[in-house]
Amino acid sequence: MKRREDLRNIAIIAHVDHGKTTLVDQLLKQSGTFRSNEHVEERAMDSNDLERERGITILAKNTAVHYQDKKINILDTPGHADFGGEVERIMKMVDGVLLVVDAYEGCMPQTRFVLKKALEQNLTPIVVVNKIDRDFARPKEVVDEVLELFIELDANDDQLEFPVVFASAMNGTASLDPDPAKQNENMQVLFETIIEHIPAPVDNREEPLQFQVALLDYNDYVGRIGIGRVFRGNMHVGQQVALMKLDGSVKTFRVTKIFGFFGLKREEIQEANAGDLIAVSGMEDINVGETVCPIDHQDALTPLRIDEPTLQMTFLVNNSPFAGREGKFVTARKIEERLRSQLQTDVSLRVENTDSPDAWVVSGRGELHLSILIENMRREGFELQVSKPQVIVKEIDGVKCEPVERVQIDIPEEHTGSIIESLGSRKGEMLDMINNGNGQVRLIFNVPARGLIGYTTEFMTLTRGYGILNHSFDSYQPLQPGRVGGRRNGVLVSMETGKATTYGMMQVEDRGTLFVEPGTDIYEGMIVGENTRENDITVNITKMKHATNVRSATKDQTSVIKKPRIMSLEEALEYLNDDEYCEVTPESIRLRKQILNKNEREKLAKRLKKA
């Protein structure tokens, strides 16, 4: 079998924050892809604003580097389970993976998730133990952990013979020796390991064309762009080809442009051969998993399987008393257009209409997946409301099943009891407990996904901010009866519309924690704080102090109120109850009751009790 020895296709996979994107930066720099005077930003592959702010990769990206006379196509994948849809498709485009593992943290839930996907596709692995220069790094133990994980995931004999490279992506060094003092001053060892161990693509360019789309992009000038791999044959600009649709239909179109990847840029090329990773424009109606082939030789590849969404929320037009004050796009038509355009590139997302023309059910892979969409819309000038996230219950063989997450927790030893108790109350099942001997304990649980909604805040309180919580989708299991998780405390709801005053806030401080600052605009039915008890109470924080001509003995004392708790978008979404909405605008995040009037809320509560 003839192979293209001048080419290698690899994906970089890892748990979030183990250094994938920094490693790609170094490979780009050291391969001479950039000119010596060219300015390159840190984490150059994270091009989106949100990716830069949060230090995470959301979208898979491709780049290419040249080492000696060989081209290495590199796909940088997200580490979060919520963006796992991106990871699965990328596995089909490559012949091998670089599994990056932190030299201190070792194998994490997402390491397990991404490695499982790679082994299922029968890809050749190389293990990179990164951050070798970290304090308390334990490279040898981490390699043993990785080996155990390979065995647990049923890796075949060839996959178990993986080479290991020890590296510090931050310093741009690598070596085959676990001793940090023996690092070479560059990453040549890693380049050579890739060339030696990752199989070269098969060169079958004489056969009929097969190109499969794995990722989508969109450009205002050329429309939809399909990114994928040429599995056999060759493709050239101007060629008439057939697009094998997922529904079985066939469309013909002309290839208008082909782009190859060079460093961080896409450059137009005239033709591509078997093994090449390319982007193609000219087909408006192309989707992930569809095959492009010659009109006279229609032969579709197996469609790509994409994991189903596990969480859904209702997106609504903003109808609060402050609607339209801060946003540019506030109508149902604009919101629906934006959600539909998101479907062009995000295959893990679902948008369904409801009985109301002003509401849509949006389903995704997790809270982070949906909150990133909401945050992007907010930054673009949209105003909307969203409901509490709900897990999607499936019927499997006549049994109602719910998604269950595998949860890994690293905490100081003294918090072990409280965490086990808190997850037990959320129907969590403990699978393992590992004491690392340095005062840290690792706990592994299976927990129903609905039990984790809103858990992060409680977890941070219980561990005083010292705990690390990671989770990824495990499986669907029979639905457990009864309520799982949820908020324990009631809320403080405003009974008036106006501005929050220091005097009004001081009157209700002892009732709980406030969420707003003095001077904030408030409306009736808006949630302004958390009650210390389980019931909701209405309060008036817009109350002004009556002026009198009697001089008080304490007049000159300054009024000091406790610092309010200001929530981020994720915290607000986690905090919601079933009868509440989160109002999101470009400038504000507000929590509110679905029914704003107190009397109407009470009437509904009575009717529900009778029912």
Binding site, by residue number, is 17-22, 130-133
CB atoms within 10 A of CB 546: 6
List, as residue ranges, the binding site for GTP.
Answer: 17-22, 130-133
Residue 603 CA, distance from chain mean position: 40
Q: Which residue bears the tokens 């409306």?
A: 523
- Three-state DSSP at 574 gives helix
Q: What order of strands is seen across the sheet that includes strand 512-514? A: 512-514, 527-531, 491-494, 537-539
Enter the tokens of residue 438. 């340095």
Torsion from C-alpha of 234, 238, 244, 246, nearest 10 degrees = 110
| Amino acid in the structure at residue 188 | Q
Q: Which of 215, 288, 291 is nearest to 248 (CA)?
A: 291
- Look-up of token digits 């099943």: 401
- Rounded Cα gap, residues 521 and 315, in angstroms: 23
Give the residue from 150, 47, 45 showing the smallest Cα distance to 97. Answer: 150
User: Which residues share a beta bridge with 405?
Assistant: 447, 473
Q: In whole angstroms, give the CA distance from residue 306 to residue 88.
A: 7
Residue 529 and residue 534: Cα distance in Å, rounded?
13
Q: What is the distance, to the nearest Å, from the Cα of residue 57 to the centroid of all Cα atoms in its chain?
A: 8
| DSSP conformation class of 370 | H
Report the C-alpha gap between 368 and 345 in whole angstroms. Answer: 17
Give residues with Cβ within 8 angstroms of 560, minimum separation 6. none
Retrieve residue 31's tokens.
Answer: 């391969």
Judge contact between 280 and 255, C-beta under 8 A. Answer: yes
Residue among 335, 320, 323, 343 at smallest CA distance from 380 = 335
Give the DSSP letter of residue 83.
Answer: G
Task: Please state, in angstroms and rounded to a whole number, the distance separating the CA atoms of residues 553 and 441.
Answer: 55
Give CA–CA dist 282/546, Å, rounded.
70
Closest CA to 211 of 118, 282, 294: 294
d(CA 557, CA 549): 17
In 274-357 the beta strands, taken as DSSP E runs, fall at 277-281, 291-294, 311-316, 350-353
Provide the sign of the torsion angle of the four alpha carbons 603, 604, 606, 607, taken in this order. Answer: positive
